[in-house]
Structure 1
Amino acid sequence: MRRVKFLLFFEFTSLSFKNNNWYQSQRFMGDLVVAGSQSKEWGSWIKSPILTATNYTVWAMRMKILFKVHEVWDIIEIEAVDQKKINMAMALLFQSIPEVLILQVGELDTAKKVWEAIKTRHLGAERVKEARLQTLMSEFDRLTMKDTETIDDFAGKLAEISSKSAALGEEIEESRLCKKFLKSLPRKKYIQIVATLEQVLDLKTTGFEDIIGRLKA
């Protein structure tokens, strides 16, 4: 029942914003969806970021500023007892998170509890991503080319790790890939060509595919 009441309150608040020109239609700015709210003191539109699966850290920073502008950050920080401020903070939160998340946290009765629930969910996901990235980088550091492998086989392994790392938000620079590739080749078989390439090429600007092509030539 409490959840239904709050959702009704939120719908009413949204309608009030519209009727008083306190609400701006959602629009896209790059990969950021924003909704507008207006501060009486500031007298201008303030954009509220929409939380996504990948922007929690920046979203939280922006929301903190938004709470301060509306003078309700104390509701989040120390859970002060002020129903008017709680309602405002809840309204700001509920217009800044996706509907599926609203359904998950709608039973919570204070803005602080909603804020902490969102934080717990996303920081948990961040820790998992960080752990996967660390495992991937350890694999990258340990990887060496076997005598039985071809240039293409080993290059494919490095490229796969690079792609997985990029998917987790960490780009491996081409210069690092090139240095890793040359360093990991069997020395007895490739020592002369590696020495030559290191002398004639600037590994900071040479592309990974260029290195592979020269070794296969």
Structure 2
Amino acid sequence: MALVPYGAGGSTVSLPVPMLTDDNYTVWAIKVEANLDAQRLWEAVVPAEDSATAVIAKKDKPARAYLLGALSEDILLQVSSKKTAAELWASLKTRFVGADRVRAARLSTLRGEFDRLRMEDGVELDAYAGRISGMAARYVALGATLDDAAMVKILLDTVPDRLYAAVAGIEQFCDVDKMPFEEALGRLKAFEERTRRHTQDSGRDGDQLMLTAAQWEARKRQHGGVHDHDDDGGSSMASGARRRRGKCYNCGVRGHFSRDCRKPRKTAEEKAFVADVEDEPALL
């Protein structure tokens, strides 16, 4: 729908018209108010104290037409008898927000929901901050306000333990009573990003250390194993494996050394002959 701003000399700006349904009044009201205010027509819906009657009368028709165009057919038929934009807006607000008693009851329920807000593990900070901001918009729709101090407090008090260090730093070095909600959120996001990067770097270092340890174990196995000893001071299984790989120069049989050989001792000439025979390549 194209609206002509009051006193704009005929220039038009096309703005999307949000459609009111049974369950989106809060969001709808925010969008419609912003659109009418951008076109300088909001004064016809909620007149200012110093507004001239003639000016309001000129703005009333385009503002009413815009509001009617943003209603579904069933809602439109119920409020079509309202002749001014202010009456139309008040009727819709009464229908969806309720009278004073209903509004007070809804506000009490909303406060309870706000006090029960908690950020579960695995929930993104942006998503949780969106819930808090949505609560603030619902407060405004009910005629109340949710200031930054309350939003910052609920944010810092309900984040999970992984962000506790950042919360402690903010509360120690910053004035949380005067801190904007966006600043508190930005500080928490910066801390979370730095923590995530540090964790990733630590994980890569751990993998490198594990790889080095594995390579070291392979190198020790390649060079004969580890020289461990049992409680009695005897040699370990690795030392036994090296003895089994030895060659006896007394009998020429592999699997033990000459000092452990049980066969009769041979002379030096016989030992040399056995060694030469073992070392010669086989004849084809």
> Which of structures 1 and 2 has the bigger CA Rg?
2
> Shared fold by TM > 0.5?
no
Higher strand share: 1
Provide TM-score, normalisation by structure 1: 0.44
Provide TM-score, normalisation by structure 2: 0.34
